[in-house]
Amino acid sequence: MLQGKTIWITGALGQLGRSAVPLFLRQGAVVVGSDIAPLEQVPAMQAVAEQYGEERFRFIRADASSEEEVKAVVGEIDRAFGRLDGAFFNAYRNVWKPLLELSLEEWEATLTGTLTSAFLCCKYAVPLMIRTGGGSIVNTSSVLGHIPKKGCLGYGAGKAGVNQLTRVIARDYAEFGIRANALVPGDFKAPEKLAALPASTVEMIRRETFMGRSGSADEVSQVAAFLLSDASSYVTGSLYTVDGGYHA
């Protein structure tokens, strides 16, 4: 589905990135993964890098909220591959505190890590996409950008901003062949994390979703692959919810 496409994934070492990178590679893409953490921190991703080699998977350590580092990543993509067809932006930061306990520094760090990072990555990815014939941007949002969750002030505001950022980019750059959509996941957890949760939390997840369970990273990244592919060529400016019915 992604054969021949060059795709940039931020947050490549996070739960969603660890699912998306091998999925996109299996579908034929060339993948550039970036993350603030070193590749050596995640042995499974090191193995992916060794399996595919730098011609198919290139990892660049970079902070998605740093303008200079984002520019450097895009420059490396241009030098190495000469094009960018898709981008899956997953970087975020979250501090779970209510208004009266959240410091200005924590508020600003959360918005910078969640919303400003998406702005910067889109700002520098779009010109390369336009130059090489257009492309598809998928920004990862959250149901918490719609639904107020106790203590989720900065992250919720940041993800709501990601939604509007994405829709305006879709409107402004459609004529240049750019599609932009926001992927809106609900709860999704690795099996080992789910198993470690208190029974009361698992029961709450069961009650709050139509499907009665937490999702998996693979169920989310499969939708991202669709939005990055030509199969979604008439989809832009959308908020694509993947939450087992939680938002409904």
| Enzyme catalytic residues | 155
* 104 exposure class (CB count in 10 Å sphere: 0-12, 13-18, 19+): exposed
Q: Is there a contact between 110 and 154 (Cβ–Cβ < 8 Å)? A: yes
Widest Cα–Cα separation across the chain: 52
Q: Which two tokens stand for residue 112?
A: 């910078």
In 3-state terms, what secondary structure has residue 74?
Answer: helix
Which residues lie closer than 8 Å to 158 by C-beta, 6 or more apart? 92, 110, 111, 113, 114, 115, 145
Spacing of C-alpha 96 from chain mean position = 20
Residue partners of 25: CB distance under 8 A and separation at least 6: 31, 48, 52, 56, 57
